[in-house]
Amino acid sequence: MEASYESNELIDRLPPHLKQFIKPQNYDDYTPINQAVWRYVMRKNVDYLSKVAHESYLDGLRRTGISIDRIPSMYGMNRILKEIGWAAVAVDGFIPPNAFMEFQAYKILVIASDIRQLENIEYTPAPDIIHEGAGHAPIIASPDYAEYLRRFGEVGAKAITSAHDNEMYEAVRQLSILKEANPLSVENLETKITAAEERVNVLQQKKVAPSEMALIRNLHWWTVEYGLVGKVEDPKIYGAGLLSSIGESAWCMQDEVKKIPYSIDAAYQEFDITKPQPQLYVTPDFAYLQEVLEEFANTMAVRKGGWRGLKKLIGSKQIGTIELSTGLQVSGIFTRMIQNEDNEVVYFETEGETALAYREKEVIGHGISRHSNGFRSPLGKLKGINLSIENMGPRDLQAYNFYDGKPISFEFESGITVDGLNVTGMRNISGKLMLIQFTNCTVKFKDEILFSPEMGDFDMAVGKEIVSAFAGAADYHSFNILAHKVSETETVRTQLSSEEQKLNDLYQGVRDFRESDSKEISSLETIFKSVKHDFSDDWLLSLEICELASELDKEFAGIVRNYLENVRTNRPEVAHLIDNGLKLIKT
């Protein structure tokens, strides 16, 4: 695909199914109000978080090139992130969880390049550049935490999702987009938000068994997003959701928020993205995060395999992979399995394009062109033979009448029979037989025909059992389709009205004043006059004017303060934001 973004060595090595999510940052699209929102949040955060955040936060801001006064550019961040072995890319809002995790495994920070509206300055359910850039980026300057994030990505990318997860992802993405949309850009916005909230609520109320992705997403939420570190009675903040929220970073330190020692139990604690969290987890240090992650990984199908792993893949209805005891990997959309009385998988099927691999590399001649209509195979041991097929050497095969070019009939312990012409076999690097090809073949289980000669050649996977099952393809090069699809729900691009443009022009005037050498107070007075006359509901621009006037003209600053007192009286919902801004000016 043609890249319209600034790339580098780390980004270049990303597979195509991840690159499809990368978007250009379009820095010029940020309005002066956007820049003012960034500046307010960052000034407030740095002032407050210097007291309550993990010690690596402020150092991380410097090391990752995050400016307090200006929204960061991807180019500038990447230039500095390179020094700690990471990179950043811009995306459009939420992306599928597996894709998000896989970016982390490649040491790439995914940054939603949009920024919250002024009305949502304290918190937004939508991912934005404040959350991603000012929250995630600084903490990865800590080597222990950066390694945890990378390892979490590796493990999370293998987590199997469910159909319910996919519905929930799309519902939350749509809600987050609508919450940040400008009413002028979307017809009947409030009605659509209500409908989207109802859809999320309905899905949240569904009684479904949590998938691996749901569980590991909980761990991600309670650590990477909302984690605390240190002592339970006196913790510090490291979670990006807290670091980027001027409301929750203060709220989370109150006694009302229960502090719990972090453990694998956090995987089973649900969360509500639309509300402040009633409890948070405290890890003693970043190294302990890795211990819990490995404990959780030991429960996953990628390590346990078996019928439970295959059942999860069938339920996901997405491309996944099983690995057999011979090392043969089968990637496709799994649709069926047959189990014996001990629940062991004795047969499996995929539908549609399927590929075979060994050690994450496609087996030559066994890609989707050969297996375009799915793949099926019995598993297990042959009836009456103690030696498993995979361990049979050439002499063993001859002893049991497995001759190339000769017809053969045999039965598995499960009762599945195979009758066909043996063509050839393929062994793995350890010499174990992992694939046998038959022609003119019939495979039966009881009275059911599982495979017939008119279906073509029969490639039988060899293996006693399924040792691993995980999301995605073993070799991502195998599939022409992209493993994770970009959502059809796109972020709404705001079209400014003439009034909004005028207000942005006033914000730009104040920004120009701050950055210029000339400090004629009369230009600020002119802007302030326009604000009072035309935009009496706006508070942030008057706060910026007050900040600048405090250094240049105390009398004018007093006039602006009095005006802000009137605004806080008329708009009590923003009174605390004005108070916080005035405290920063005093500081």
| DSSP-derived secondary structure for 290-308 | HHHHHHHHTTSHHHH-HHH
Return the SS3 of 508: helix
Mean pLDDT, to the nearest integer, of 206-214? 90
Q: Is the pLDDT of residue 539 over 60?
A: yes
Mean pLDDT over each residue of the chain, to the nearest integer: 90
Mean pLDDT, to the nearest integer, of 442-464? 96
pLDDT per residue as tens digits for the range 236-262:
999 988 888 877 888 888 999 999 999
Handedness of CA 376, 379, 384, 385 (dihedral sign): positive
Return the SS3 of 472: coil
Side chain identity, residue 52: V
Number of neighbouring beta carbons within 10 Å of residue 255: 6
Q: What is the pTM of this model?
A: 0.85
Q: C-alpha 58: how far from its chain's center?
A: 25
Q: Which 8-state DSSP code applies to residue 135?
A: I
Residue 547 parent element (H or E):
helix 540-552
pLDDT per residue as tens digits for the range 480-514:
766 556 666 666 666 788 999 999 999 999 999 99
Q: Is the pLDDT of residue 7 over 80?
A: no
DSSP bridge partners of 410: 418
Which has more confidence, 21 or 204?
A: 21
DSSP bridge partners of 347: 338, 378
Note whether 56 and 141 are within 8 A (CB).
Answer: yes
Helices (DSSP H) in 74-229: which residue ranges?
A: 74-81, 97-105, 129, 137-139, 143-157, 163-179, 189-205, 212-220
The pLDDT assigned to 2 comes to: 43
The pLDDT assigned to 226 comes to: 94
pLDDT per residue as tens digits for the range 301-352:
999 999 999 999 999 999 999 999 999 999 999 999 999 999 999 999 999 9
Q: C-alpha 92: how far from its chain's center?
A: 12
